[in-house]
Amino acid sequence: MTQDVPSARPGRLAGRVAVISGAGSVGPGWGNGRATAVIFAREGATVYLTDRDEDALGVTADQVRQEGGTAHTHLLDVTEPDAVEDCFRQTERQAGRIDVLINNVGGSCAGGAAELSLEDWDSQLRTNLTSAFLACKHAVPIMRRGGGGSIVNTASASGLRWTGAAQVGYAAAKAAVIQLSRVTAVQYAPDRIRVNTVVPGQLHTPMVEARLAHQRADGDVEKLLAQRQARIPLGFMGDGRDTAYAALFLASDEARFVTGTEIVVDGGMTARCD
């Protein structure tokens, strides 16, 4: 007998325990991690939030709690193996299980193959790829013990195609995140663990003002926003909430038959020929 397909409804994550990395934000507004934390809590999840910026992490947790949600925080550098293992051990001890894992940490560094230093290359792989691997490594056994779960990794349109700037370390790492998700999905499907990837395009998140404008437009935020928006067929930029809603679908029972694949959230940018 097949299970009934669940219908869309409020509280789609009611009773779930969700771990969200990179849950802080580099500035005011809707970064991917902050938006995911708030939206998941609105949908009934108890959220366990990690970030290496204590102040930013606290702002996100406060926002969740102000809306009546339940948030726990853990100051964490997701590139440190022992710290990641300890974080997941503590979370299982406190919550009893982990139902959802959102690997959201990332950051780009300018430079092509000839320009990027080996140190920056290694750092890009650790930040964008090894962080996701370490979290999966420690979440999968917990999910197996709990009878299943959903892992959503955050990649980037830069992992699919050229997006306007040479950032070879970031692009290579985010492409690898997609394949990490696919391989992990197939291996652990018998354990009822689903693994998928959200692939955001050029969103207007706080990262634009805090970092990217200085890297790519001499600090001219409006210039960079215009350049990015010109690449998007829909004619406007989304923000972290668009990433979060894609992750919400993948984390929920509505995606019970979805694993080993990607949702591209880019306003049509990667579908263009130019």
Active-site annotation, residues = 170
**Greatest Cα pair distance in the chain:** 61
Q: Amino acid letter at 165?
A: A
Return the bridge partners of 70, or none.
Answer: 46
d(CA 99, CA 77): 22
Nearest alpha-carbon partner for 153 in 124, 186, 185: 185
Alpha-carbon distance 82 to 75, whole Å?
13
Cα dihedral 45, 50, 56, 62, rounded to 10, equals 30
Question: What stretches of 67-167 show up as alpha helix (H) in DSSP?
Answer: 81-95, 118-125, 131-146
Lookup: tokens for 163: 């997006």
Closest to 247 in 3D by CA, of 68, 51, 45, 57: 45
Cβ(192)–Cβ(150) below 8 Å:
no
